[in-house]
Amino acid sequence: LHLEEGTAVAQTESAVREMLNSAQFAEEHPGAAHHLAEAFALLWQDRRDEQVISTIGDHLRKALMDTVNDLIGAEGGSAEQPAKRLTTWIDGQAKLHGRERQVLEGLAALAAAVLRLDHRLNHVRDELDHDEPPPSFGEIRRAAFVTAMTCYELSQALVGR
């Protein structure tokens, strides 16, 4: 990408969209690609009702879970806990050198944080019942892009392992 193509944020959004539409990602992670495509389709609609927000969050959570399942299989516990499963998997990889291990541990920590945000969206009604503020468009957009980026980076980091 070139600077004249827009701001850094616009370039990042463009790169994420290209990844989402790539045949390689869809082939390697069909479930995640489907869920991310559905979440982004809803994101760009002009609706911000609780049902749409909840559905976006559900798709984002499932994309992350599917990506982890594709990468490490069913080992390490419940599919509902992809970050914990990643951490368990990383801990079992004796051949990882220190810096690579740190990066993968950082990705697992990011996956945990992203999953909490996606969970907030998925359970927006419960959040509102507990006097939490409704998510802004920026928060929903950020959840979508960071989830997509996390799925992609996990995919790239764990290729061939």
Q: Measured between alpha carbons, how far is 13 from 9 in angstroms, rounded to an integer?
A: 6
C-alpha of 115 from chain center: 7
Res 3: pLDDT: 47
> What confidence category does residue 75 fall into, taking pLDDT thresholds of 50, 70 and 90?
low
44 — alpha (psi -120 to 50), left (phi > 0) or beta? alpha
If you average pLDDT over every residue of the chain, what do you get?
Answer: 86
Question: Using N-to-C axis directions, what is the helix angle for 82-91 and 98-122, rounded to 10°?
Answer: 170
Predicted structure pTM score: 0.86
Helices (H), the chain: 8-20, 23-28, 30-43, 50-72, 82-91, 98-122, 124-129, 137-157
Q: Measured between alpha carbons, how far is 111 from 151 in angstroms, rounded to an integer?
A: 8
pLDDT tens across 122-155, in order?
999 999 899 999 999 999 999 999 999 999 888 8
C-alpha of 29 from chain center: 12
Over 50: is that where the pLDDT of 107 sits? Answer: yes
